[in-house]
A = this chain, B = another copy of it.
Amino acid sequence: MSDGKCQSDVIEPLCAKKFKKDDQNENGVNESQLQLRDFILSKILNNNTNRKIVCALGNFKDKSGVALVILEKNAFKEEELNEKGYFSEDSELRTFFQNDIYGNYVCFPNSSINGVKTTIIYPATEKHIAKYSQQEVHIILETPQLYQKYTLSHLAKEQFNLQWVYNILEGKSEQDRVVYDNKCEKEGFVLLPDLKWDGLTKETLYLLAIVRQREIKSLRDLNEGHLPLLKRVRDEGKKAILDKYNVPGSQLRIYLHYQPSFYHLHIHFTYLKHEAPGIYAEKSHLLDAVIDNIEMMNDYYQKATLPFTIREMDTLFNVYETNGYIKRIKENIELIDK
C-alpha cells in the first residue's frame, strides 16, 4: 500500500455538501452505477492491520470485468474529540474487561463520524491486482552452513545487475544528488538520498551510503578488517546529515538489511521517528550493533545464525522449500477464497 493512483483520499464525512453532485441525490448518495451491496467478493488481496486498509477483489452484480474495492479507516480528527463526537451522549461504551486502573472497552460512536474511505477501481487490470496483492512471508534461520550451501550459490546466479551502483561510484550517474563523497577506495563511500525520499522532508529522511569497495556482498562478509570503513560511514555519514539536514546522529536509525536488496554493501540512514519500510528486527541490523559484534568477535558474521524473511514468490524460497527447510502455506488459498 504505497503511493500511486490507487490510494484513497481523505474524505470529510461531515461535509456532504463538498461531494460531487453527479450521479447522486441531494444527500450525496450515489444513486447510479456502483453500490457496495452489489459487490461480490472473490478474494481479499491484502489486509494491512496496522494502517487499517483492506483490498478486496471481486465483481459487481450484472457487470462484466473485475473490480477492486479498497477500504481504509479514517485517522481521528481533532474536531471529533469533543462533546459532539466521541465524547457525546451518542457514544455507547461496552466493557471488555477491567483490571486495576486499566479498562478496555468498545465504543460505538455517532454514525456521522463513522465514514470509511473507499476507493473503487473498475474495471481493474492484472497489474492493479498484482499491485494490491500480499504474499505469504516466512522467516528462515540461516546458519553459516545454509548460507554457504544455498544462499551464496543462489545469489551468484540471481544477482541483479549492479551497473547502476558502479555508475554512481564512478560519477557517471546521479552526481547532482550526492550529499557526501569520500573517494578513498578502501574506506570511502558515497552518501545520497534514497529513491524513496524527496530529499527535503525531515519527517521521512532516508539516505543511502554505498561503499566504494566492491567485494563486500553483505553483512555475512564483514570482519574486523572492515571496522575502519564501517566507523567512517557511521561518523562521516552522521556529520554530513547534521550539516546538511540539521538532524543529530542520536535521531538517526543507521542500519543494514539482511538479506539486502542488492549484494554490494550499503548502509541505510533514516529519521528515527519515520516508520520506513523494512526497519523491522527480522530484517534490519543497526550499524552500531554490527560494529560492536565484530569488536567482540572478529568472525561474528561468519559464525552467527542470521534470520531473514522471504516471500513465497521469491526464487530463494524455492531453494529452501525444495530442501525441506520451509513449507508453503497451503491453507492460504482456502482462507482467502472462503
CB distance B329 to A251 under 8 Å? yes
Q: Which candidate, A49-57, A212-220, A225-233, is the interface stretch facing chain B?
A: A49-57
Q: Which residue of B lies closest to A23 (CB)?
A: B95
Interface residue A34 (Cβ < 8 Å from any Cβ of B): yes
- A contacts with B, residue count (CB < 8 A): 133
Stretch at the interface among A80-88, A147-155, A178-186: A80-88
What residues on B are CB-neighbors of A117 within 8 Å? 104-107
A163 within 8 A of B: yes
Given A76-B54, A107-B116, A281-B280, the answer on whether A97 and B39 have CB atoms closer than 8 Å is no
* Interface hits, A107-131 → B, CB 8 Å: 107-109, 111, 114-124
Separation of A275 and B305 alpha carbons in the complex (Å): 24
Residues of B within 8 A of A260 (CB): none
The reply to whether the CB of A64 lies closer than 8 angstroms to some CB of chain B is no
Known: A22-B98, A98-B22. A81 touches B50 (CB 8 A): no
Chain B residue nearest to A94 in the complex (CB): B28
Given that A93-B30, A104-B9, A253-B281 are contacting pairs, would A87 and B52 also be in contact in the complex, using a CB cutoff of 8 Å?
no
Q: Are A120 and B103 in contact (CB under 8 A)?
A: yes
Residues of B within 8 A of A281 (CB): 253, 255, 279-281, 283-286
Chain B residues within an 8 Å CB radius of A288: 139, 141, 305, 307
Binary CB contact string for chain A from 16 to 55 against chain B (1 if under 8 A, 0 otherwise)? 1011101110011110001111011100100111111110
Q: How many monomers of this protein are in the complex?
A: 2
> B108 contacts A114, CB within 8 Å?
yes
Query: Contacts A93-B30, A134-B273: A82 and B114 contacting too (C-beta < 8 A)?
Result: no
CB–CB B107/A118 < 8 A: yes
- Show 15 residue pairs from A and B whose CB-CB distance is below 8 angstroms, ordered by the A residue: A9-B96, A9-B104, A11-B94, A37-B83, A41-B87, A47-B78, A47-B203, A50-B51, A51-B51, A101-B121, A102-B121, A107-B117, A108-B111, A139-B253, A296-B304
Given contacts A23-B95, A99-B174, 11 further A-B contacts (CB under 8 A): A22-B95, A37-B89, A49-B275, A51-B51, A52-B74, A105-B117, A108-B116, A109-B114, A137-B272, A281-B281, A286-B307
Query: What 4 A-B pairs come out closest when comparing CB atoms?
Result: A281-B284, A50-B275, A49-B75, A11-B106
